[in-house]
Amino acid sequence: MKRFQKYVECRPGSVPFILSCPHGGFLKPNNIPDKLVGTQLADKNKYLITKRILQVLRKFDIKPYYILSKIHRSKVDFNRPARAHGAFNHNSAEAKEIHYFYHQTLEDFYNECISVYDKCLVIDLHGFTKPQRDYPDIIIGNIFGKTLKIVYSSESQDSKRYWGFSDMVRELSKDFTLDDGLAISDFNLAYSGGYITHQFYRKAKSNAFQLEVAKYIRENVKLTKIFVKIFVNVIVKCLKE
């Protein structure tokens, strides 16, 4: 584990919540070759924003499970399957092992959450650039609701009552335009949920979604503070219920 911690920052938590940030990495070690295909750009400021979220959560004595990439996306893309050349350069055994470590850690965290708490909320943080003005500020990928299973009431399957997800949608939509990903729209096809989200498609007792935040929010200090405050407040509320 220690061998990979210079590339992947992770820690088990004390609440049934896993926070993942696979595209915010910044390290470009010479011993790991660049990918030959796929996106080479990292999600700007996402690592720092995720670290800030963790810092604020600690003020509420909330310690989530978390895993953050520190290696640049041009070297390893954790949101692609290992078989894909867009995940890493297949000539590099080191890159393959780092990719495996990230996903095995996620699996271990999930299993521990289910064993200890009997439920698990997984949020995979990402960033995107709005190609046009009418695009939403935030797009949520959940494979059109298929990775959402936990509801407040066991008697209701109302999609508006998914634990963690519903609260996030309601609160973020007060300050940002948002696509909740529950139905196919003109905007969310490309962000319906990547490889990490898909790993929770068949996992029981979990809500997992990809949270895509527009670049202009991540570059604006004031808007970033608003996003972090909303995110933290939602997590605090959900974990107290």
What is the tens place of the pLDDT at every residue in 165-184? 999 999 999 999 999 999 99
Question: Structural domain boundaries of the chain?
Answer: 2-240
Residue 10: pLDDT above 90?
yes
Collect all residues with Cβ–Cβ distance below 8 Å to 231 and sequence separation of at least 6: 53, 168, 172
Given this structure, which CATH class describes domain 2-240?
A: alpha beta
Burial 130-159 (b: 16+ CB within 10 A, else e): beeeeebbbbbbbbbebbbbbbeeeeeeee
pLDDT band at 3 (very low <50, low <70, confident <90, very high): confident
Distance of CA 55 to the CA centre of its chain: 17
Q: What is the predicted pLDDT for the residue at 1?
A: 60
What is the tens place of the pLDDT at every residue in 20-70? 999 998 999 999 999 999 888 888 899 999 999 999 999 999 999 999 999
- Cβ-contact 214, 135 below 8 angstroms: yes
**pTM score of the predicted model:** 0.94
State the average pLDDT for the chain: 93
